[in-house]
Amino acid sequence: MKSKTPHQKELHPQTTITTLQARIQELETEIADLTLLHETTVEHGTTLENELIDLVATLTTVARELEVGRFDVQSLRWLIDRPDELGELGRVFQTMGNEVIARDRRLRMLRVIIPTGVALSAEKDFNRLLETILIEAQKLSHADGGMLYLLTPNKTLQAMIGRNETLGIAQGGTSGVAIDFYERLLYDSDGNP
């Protein structure tokens, strides 16, 4: 038989079993904790993955809308309110979308203004010229009605042409109809502006 060293103790078999059972219990608790941690990590990873997939899908949809000129500023509202990097990405994307919309609007305006300017420069009839200016301004601004005034030498405004599509009003200009409807909008009953 081997001799025991001084620091070795003789353990009672029941103590050894109890100690081992306690250690097994500790290990089982650690395994349960690690399993829970693993499941939580996987769940959060899946959630993050789904968020990123949704983000890419949203940005793809917005990019397609931009491509065809239908960008909705509110389509990124949920994203731009985030305080993190994804929110910053959304804000940059929204700024880009707004700039594309503004550029497209300016291009559409130029497509109207340039031909109109050319047509106006060729027009010799003053009333037709003013009427064309008002009609094109209505088209450009999507206005239902409009009024064109000229400043007189006496520093007062004189109504030259009035139009309202919904009401079917066309006064002044080449219509030959005297302007009365719009004068009431500019002056009170005493003739004051």
Flag the least confident range among 9-18, 114-123, 181-190: 181-190
Q: In whole numbers, what is the pLDDT of the chain averaged over residues? A: 81
- Residue extents of the structural domains in the chain: 18-122, 126-193
What's the pLDDT at 74? 77
- Averaged over 150-178, what is the pLDDT? 88
∠ CA 100-81-62, rounded to 5°: 35
The whole-angstrom separation of Cα 148 and Cα 132 is 11
Q: Who's near 161: CB < 8 A, 6+ residues apart?
A: 127, 130, 131, 134, 147, 148, 171, 172, 173, 175, 179
pLDDT band at residue 11, thresholds of 50, 70 and 90? low
pLDDT one-digit tens code per residue, 59-89 = 888 888 877 777 777 777 777 888 888 888 8
Share above pLDDT 70 across residues of the chain, in percent, rounded to a whole number: 88
